[in-house]
Amino acid sequence: MQNFKAYVLIFLLIPFSMFAEDGSQLWLRFPNVKNGISADKIISKGNNPTIEIAKNELTNFWQGQTVELRTDKALKNQKDGYTIKSSSDKITISSSKEIGLLYGVYHILRLQQTKSNINNLNITEKPSYDVRILNHWDNLDGTIERGYAGYSLWKWEDLPNKISPRYKEYARANASIGINSVVLNNVNASPNILRKDYLDKVKVLADIFRPYGIKVYLSVNFASPKVLSGLENSDPLNKNVQKWWKDKASEIYQTIPDFGGFLVKANSEGQPGPQDYGRTHADGANMMADALKPYGGNIMWRAFVYSPSKEDRAKQAYLEFVPLDGKFRDNVIVQIKNGPIDFQPREAFNPLFGALKKTPEMVEFQITQEYLGFSNHLAFLAPLFKEVLDSDTYSDGKGSTIAKLTDGTLRKNKFTAISAVANIGEDKNWTGHHFAQANWYAFGRLAWNHSLSSEQIADEWIKMTFTDNQDFVKPVKDIMLTSRESVVDYMMPLGLHHIFASGHHYGPEPWGDYKGGRPDWSPVYYHQANEKGIGFDRTKSGSNAVSQYFPPLDELYGNIKTTPENLILWFHHVPWDYKMKDGKMLWEELAYKYDSGVKNVREYQKTWDKMQTYVDSERFAHVQSRLKIQTKDAVWWKDACLLYFQQFSKQPIPYDIERPVHELEDLKKIKLNMGHHN
């Protein structure tokens, strides 16, 4: 009893903030703010749920001058954008829409959190993309495909009656970075999501998200008419099927009047699609587009097609979609993964970008780290996102970057969009690794403004999430900015790709050779290592995937001398003794890259340990322990790949680098039981 009392006493004495530092507040932390300005220091007209949220944020957290929130129809061409003007005693936020005002409020709160100057502001913001959308790969049974932060946030069993407080917190976090759309369910979609009982559940979420400016989309299964209603087939040219989708659209919009639309994975990895009936992707997409058109809904049709084919897997999307250019309705947009394989640590950009001249295109990124160490490895992805957006496709001449192709600059589309697969689950800290929050944040910020630099994004995120103390900000920013490249180095440097263990995609398995299955399920297919060299020949003498790129890139990538070295093994089969730009042989270069990846992570550990005094103990210990796993994994990757490739190169591992600590035969025996297919 005595002990119990003492325990309660200690519990009461521990300041609240120590409990709060579990990462649940994300970047919306205001550790020293008890309350914000009083309600009479907010000037605004009218009553609206979005404005109410804006006012609450100000009265809870804003410690500066009076704020005026002004809707101004003249600012209509700024879409969700806003302006901020300030003097020493007043800040005026103007926008044509209420949501723009809320975004403006999050903007000034960010300035406050990052201790930026708030006087004499004259800011105009306009989003890079109309639709800034997260794709959840959440299944209806609560599991998440490629999710590493626990089960799904959506409690389908409890809905529509019981409402988790996290729905609102989730919406708020998204609004604070400008994300305005979400796909709730996995692209490997259960037809059940379109059942009436599920739509009633979806409606509850849509109602909660609406004041935060967020529209709900759903992934749909192409076979839904047949599966749900027993139609004879789901053929897009069948009148009954067309009517089924029209009726379904009408039912959806009666329930959710501002429903965003459908995301569709068709005829890929065993999912049903129009090709099951000898129809094209355009036939399938257009049927759905016609159904949603009267209500203003969109179809995001995925170009990730991965079916049995004799062709190089990297060529598939282009081969299937280019012939369909111009055949899609104007409310269809083709959603294209950043690379032509599958969210690898580094890929060449997808050659489909720019190749569709008459069809809107959007990027799909992956925030969840399916191929970058799950939520165990620290990998800040803004540099990856930027690398892709800034890639010049040369489709419309020099300067035809993926950003400009998709944001409406070069192609005048009805709407523009950008998407990413979410890394969010029900873990307290939302994303598993505390630093994985930065990737959700970075995607939102870049979707809003793709010209922000990775450095800028990391800087503001660190200050908001941890502290603005430069002794912390600087070293931690260095870790973040180099982290993705470190992962590339210890997993797959120089353009290597997909040498992951099958199924879970966590550890190395360069020896993987699943005879009897499709060749492109095996790592040996991707690295092609033999006595002569290593790498996938995608030049004219090989798969000729280089021909899918616009000049001069086809020539540039087709020539080993002009191929960027960070992609050399993506495009070429390179002899072990090939001389690299720094004078080393390819084999040595590979070994040094693996080694430098490991070294970097060891440095991250040292740096992080020095940060202990600046971070609360809970988050400090959590990150520290994840860095241990990351280092162990990096050594595992390096040993596995070097010992395995060494069998072909027959060269010593350069003597000045750390010796392997594993036996190849032992590594081959590791079978992680992490579930999942291919």
State the nearest-atom distance from the C-beta of 510 to ligand GCV, in Å.
18
- Is the CB of residue 614 less than 8 Å from the CB of residue 572? no
Helices 470-491 + 454-465 axis angle, to 10:
120
State the nearest-atom distance from the C-beta of 569 to ligand GCV, in Å.
21
Do you find a cis peptide bond into 160, omega within 30 degrees of 0? yes
State the nearest-atom distance from the C-beta of 503 to ligand GCV, in Å.
9
Report residue 223 as tokens.
């076979």
Report residue 350 as tokens.
């997808």
Do you find a cis peptide bond into 575, omega within 30 degrees of 0? no
Q: Closer to ligand GCV by CB, 521 or 550: give it.
A: 521
Q: Which residue has the tokens 């997993």?
A: 491
State the nearest-atom distance from the C-beta of 371 to ligand GCV, in Å.
9
Report the SS3 class of residue 493: helix
Distance CA 296, CA 198 (A): 22
Q: Closer to ligand GCV by CB, 518 or 602: give it.
A: 518
State the nearest-atom distance from the C-beta of 304 to ligand GCV, in Å.
5
State the nearest-atom distance from the C-beta of 372 to ligand GCV, in Å.
13
Closest C-alpha among 392, 340, 343 to residue 366: 343
Q: Closer to ligand GCV by CB, 57 or 520: give it.
A: 520
For residue 225, the surrounding DSSP H or E stretch is helix 224-229
- Is the CB of residue 549 less than 8 Å from the CB of residue 538? no
Q: What is the DSSP letter of 234?
A: -
Q: b/e map of 16-46 (b: 16 or more CB within 10 Å)?
A: eeeeebebebbbbbbeeeeebbeeebbebee
Q: Closer to ligand GCV by CB, 46 or 675: give it.
A: 675
State the nearest-atom distance from the C-beta of 187 to ligand GCV, in Å.
5
Distance CA 387, CA 347 (A): 10
Total length of the chain: 678
State the nearest-atom distance from the C-beta of 676 to ligand GCV, in Å.
7
291 CB contacts (<8 Å, ≥6 apart)? 242, 245, 246, 248, 249
- Is the CB of residue 536 less than 8 Å from the CB of residue 528? yes
Q: Closer to ligand GCV by CB, 219 or 416: give it.
A: 219
- Is the CB of residue 176 less than 8 Å from the CB of residue 221? no
Give me the residues that bind ligand GCV (CB under 6 A), please: 137, 145-146, 187-188, 265, 269, 304, 342
Phi/psi of residue 195, nearest 5 degrees: -70, 155
Which residues are catalytically annotated?
A: 269, 342, 370
Report residue 554 as tokens.
């086809």
Q: Closer to ligand GCV by CB, 55 or 265: give it.
A: 265
State the nearest-atom distance from the C-beta of 455 to ligand GCV, in Å.
30
Closest C-alpha among 465, 451, 442, 423 to residue 110: 465
Q: Closer to ligand GCV by CB, 265 or 315: give it.
A: 265
State the nearest-atom distance from the C-beta of 221 to ligand GCV, in Å.
13
Distance CA 652, CA 606 (A): 30
| Cα R_g (the chain), whole angstroms | 26
Distance CA 255, CA 258 (A): 9
- Is the CB of residue 317 less than 8 Å from the CB of residue 340? yes
Q: Closer to ligand GCV by CB, 143 or 482: give it.
A: 143
In one-letter notation, the amino acid at residue 379 is: A
Q: Closer to ligand GCV by CB, 302 or 445: give it.
A: 302
200 CB contacts (<8 Å, ≥6 apart)? 159, 160, 255
- Is the CB of residue 393 less than 8 Å from the CB of residue 354? yes
Report residue 334 as tokens.
């083709």
State the nearest-atom distance from the C-beta of 388 to ligand GCV, in Å.
16
Report the SS3 class of residue 221: coil
Q: What is the DSSP letter of 377?
A: S
Q: Closer to ligand GCV by CB, 137 or 441: give it.
A: 137
Q: Closer to ligand GCV by CB, 209 or 304: give it.
A: 304
DSSP conformation letters of 123-145? EEE--S-SEEEEE--B-TTS-BT
End-to-end Cα spacing for the chain: 56
